[in-house]
Structure 1
Amino acid sequence: MNRFENSGEAKLRYGTPDFQVIRAGSYVRCAVSGEAIPLDLLKYWSVERQEPYADAATAFKREIEMRKA
Protein backbone atom coordinates (compact mmCIF):
# COMPACT_ATOMS: atom_id res chain seq x y z
CA MET A 1 0.00 0.00 0.00
CA ASN A 2 1.41 3.38 -0.88
CA ARG A 3 0.91 6.61 1.01
CA PHE A 4 -1.88 7.82 -1.30
CA GLU A 5 -4.04 4.71 -1.23
CA ASN A 6 -6.76 4.89 1.42
CA SER A 7 -5.87 8.52 2.04
CA GLY A 8 -8.85 9.17 4.31
CA GLU A 9 -9.15 8.94 8.07
CA ALA A 10 -8.26 5.57 9.59
CA LYS A 11 -10.00 3.84 12.48
CA LEU A 12 -7.65 2.13 14.92
CA ARG A 13 -7.78 -0.03 18.03
CA TYR A 14 -5.06 1.24 20.36
CA GLY A 15 -3.10 -1.34 22.32
CA THR A 16 0.19 -1.72 24.13
CA PRO A 17 2.69 -1.21 22.53
CA ASP A 18 1.06 -0.85 19.10
CA PHE A 19 -2.24 -0.34 17.34
CA GLN A 20 -4.43 -2.40 15.02
CA VAL A 21 -5.97 -0.93 11.87
CA ILE A 22 -9.75 -1.44 11.86
CA ARG A 23 -10.43 0.77 8.81
CA ALA A 24 -7.61 1.66 6.45
CA GLY A 25 -6.61 5.28 6.05
CA SER A 26 -3.56 7.49 6.10
CA TYR A 27 -4.22 9.48 9.29
CA VAL A 28 -6.17 9.79 12.55
CA ARG A 29 -7.31 12.97 14.31
CA CYS A 30 -5.85 14.10 17.62
CA ALA A 31 -8.54 13.72 20.30
CA VAL A 32 -7.62 17.11 21.80
CA SER A 33 -6.67 19.40 18.90
CA GLY A 34 -8.35 17.69 15.95
CA GLU A 35 -5.04 17.84 14.06
CA ALA A 36 -4.54 15.13 11.42
CA ILE A 37 -1.75 12.74 12.44
CA PRO A 38 -0.25 10.58 9.67
CA LEU A 39 -0.16 6.95 10.82
CA ASP A 40 3.57 6.72 10.23
CA LEU A 41 4.06 9.58 12.73
CA LEU A 42 1.57 8.39 15.37
CA LYS A 43 3.44 7.81 18.65
CA TYR A 44 1.07 8.83 21.45
CA TRP A 45 -2.32 7.37 22.41
CA SER A 46 -4.38 6.22 25.36
CA VAL A 47 -5.28 2.54 25.46
CA GLU A 48 -7.82 3.22 28.23
CA ARG A 49 -9.62 6.01 26.34
CA GLN A 50 -8.81 4.73 22.82
CA GLU A 51 -7.67 8.23 21.79
CA PRO A 52 -4.71 9.38 19.66
CA TYR A 53 -2.65 12.49 20.47
CA ALA A 54 -0.50 14.70 18.26
CA ASP A 55 2.45 14.86 20.67
CA ALA A 56 3.62 14.09 24.21
CA ALA A 57 2.58 17.48 25.61
CA THR A 58 -0.97 17.02 24.31
CA ALA A 59 -1.17 13.48 25.73
CA PHE A 60 0.03 14.76 29.11
CA LYS A 61 -2.46 17.65 29.06
CA ARG A 62 -5.31 15.22 28.35
CA GLU A 63 -4.19 12.90 31.15
CA ILE A 64 -4.23 15.78 33.65
CA GLU A 65 -7.68 16.90 32.43
CA MET A 66 -9.10 13.40 32.81
CA ARG A 67 -7.69 12.95 36.32
CA LYS A 68 -9.43 16.17 37.43
CA ALA A 69 -12.78 15.06 35.98
Structure 2
Amino acid sequence: MCQHQPPCPPATAPDHHTARLVAYHPEQGWGLLCNGVLIFDDGGELTPDGRVRPAGRGADVVPVG
Protein backbone atom coordinates (compact mmCIF):
# COMPACT_ATOMS: atom_id res chain seq x y z
CA MET A 1 0.00 0.00 0.00
CA CYS A 2 2.78 2.45 0.93
CA GLN A 3 4.68 4.01 -1.95
CA HIS A 4 7.00 6.20 0.13
CA GLN A 5 10.78 5.78 0.01
CA PRO A 6 11.87 4.37 2.30
CA PRO A 7 8.58 2.52 2.76
CA CYS A 8 6.58 3.00 5.95
CA PRO A 9 6.29 0.07 8.36
CA PRO A 10 3.54 -2.42 7.51
CA ALA A 11 0.44 -2.71 9.69
CA THR A 12 1.91 -5.83 11.35
CA ALA A 13 5.13 -4.12 12.49
CA PRO A 14 5.53 -3.01 16.11
CA ASP A 15 6.16 0.58 14.92
CA HIS A 16 3.23 0.60 12.46
CA HIS A 17 1.90 3.83 14.00
CA THR A 18 4.89 5.73 12.54
CA ALA A 19 3.52 5.35 8.99
CA ARG A 20 2.53 8.55 7.19
CA LEU A 21 -0.93 9.98 7.62
CA VAL A 22 -2.75 10.00 4.26
CA ALA A 23 -6.20 11.14 5.40
CA TYR A 24 -7.33 12.89 8.57
CA HIS A 25 -10.84 13.76 9.68
CA PRO A 26 -10.55 15.53 13.04
CA GLU A 27 -14.25 16.36 13.00
CA GLN A 28 -14.92 12.60 13.02
CA GLY A 29 -11.98 11.66 15.23
CA TRP A 30 -10.01 9.37 12.90
CA GLY A 31 -7.14 9.23 10.44
CA LEU A 32 -5.82 6.73 7.89
CA LEU A 33 -2.16 5.75 7.75
CA CYS A 34 -0.58 4.71 4.45
CA ASN A 35 -0.24 1.14 5.74
CA GLY A 36 -4.03 0.85 6.02
CA VAL A 37 -4.32 1.30 9.79
CA LEU A 38 -7.16 3.53 10.99
CA ILE A 39 -6.17 5.53 14.04
CA PHE A 40 -8.67 7.16 16.36
CA ASP A 41 -8.28 10.27 18.48
CA ASP A 42 -8.79 8.22 21.66
CA GLY A 43 -5.73 6.11 20.80
CA GLY A 44 -7.58 3.08 19.45
CA GLU A 45 -6.70 1.47 16.13
CA LEU A 46 -8.30 -0.74 13.48
CA THR A 47 -5.91 -2.79 11.35
CA PRO A 48 -6.52 -3.74 7.71
CA ASP A 49 -7.16 -7.36 8.72
CA GLY A 50 -10.04 -6.26 10.99
CA ARG A 51 -8.31 -6.42 14.37
CA VAL A 52 -8.98 -3.76 16.97
CA ARG A 53 -6.48 -2.28 19.39
CA PRO A 54 -8.56 -0.56 22.06
CA ALA A 55 -7.47 2.84 23.35
CA GLY A 56 -4.93 2.64 26.14
CA ARG A 57 -4.52 -1.11 25.87
CA GLY A 58 -0.93 -1.28 24.58
CA ALA A 59 -0.26 -4.44 22.60
CA ASP A 60 -3.61 -6.17 23.19
CA VAL A 61 -5.18 -6.84 19.82
CA VAL A 62 -8.53 -8.57 19.45
CA PRO A 63 -10.22 -9.82 16.26
CA VAL A 64 -13.52 -8.29 15.22
CA GLY A 65 -16.40 -10.46 14.05
Q: Shorter-chain TM-score: what band? A: under 0.3
Flag the structure with larger Rg: 1
Report which of the two has the higher share of helix.
Answer: 1
**TM-score, structure 1 as length reference:** 0.26
- After TM superposition, the score normalised by the length of structure 2 is 0.27
Higher relative contact order (CA 8 A, sep 6+): 1
